[in-house]
């Protein structure tokens, strides 16, 4: 997983990440920012001593974390078919690409630790 942290004068601290992991970048930029890093680190510590996966529900993206991997799922991925039926006449489809992604647990821990260092200016 390749990424780069950016200090943007307009939008602040951001992560630029590969397109296959775009939902991870959205989650970090929009759901976590620099204010919720401690909460994610506490979740990581809990998962390390747990046998069950833990879920961190966000406004638009959920994180499902276990000892092996981190899975990110946008809420739009779980739209009811009734919700989508309204768009059938417009021939619109729910594009699932970019709505879910995952990475290994160690990669996720490295990402969070690097983000924490970046956001605190170390």
Report the alpha-carbon distance of residue 118 to residue 13 in Å, rounded: 9
List, for residues 42-77, the tens digit of each pLDDT value. 999 999 888 899 999 999 999 999 999 999 998 876
pLDDT at 10: 86
The whole-chain average pLDDT of the chain stands at 84
What is the pLDDT, as a whole number, of residue 95?
44
| Residue 13 near residue 119, CB atoms below 8 Å | yes
Beta bridge pairs of residue 64: 55, 71
Buried b (16+ CB within 10 A) or exposed e, 19-46: eebbbbbbbbbebbeeeebeebeebbee
Q: Where are the domains of the chain?
A: 1-74+98-118
């Amino acid at each position: 997983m390749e990424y780069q942290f950016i200090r943007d004068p307009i939008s602040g601290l951001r992560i630029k990440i590969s397109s296959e992991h775009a939902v991870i970048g959205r989650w970090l930029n929009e759901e976590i920012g620099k204010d919720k890093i401690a909460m994610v680190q506490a979740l990581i510590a809990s998962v390390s001593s747990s046998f069950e996966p833990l879920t961190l529900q966000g406004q638009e993206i959920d994180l499902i974390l276990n000892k092996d991997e981190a899975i990110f799922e946008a809420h739009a991925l779980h739209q009811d078919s009734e919700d989508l039926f309204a768009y059938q006449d417009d021939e619109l489809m729910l594009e699932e690409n970019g709505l879910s992604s995952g990475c290994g647990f160690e990669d996720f821990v490295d990402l969070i630790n690097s983000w924490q260092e970046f956001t605190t200016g170390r």
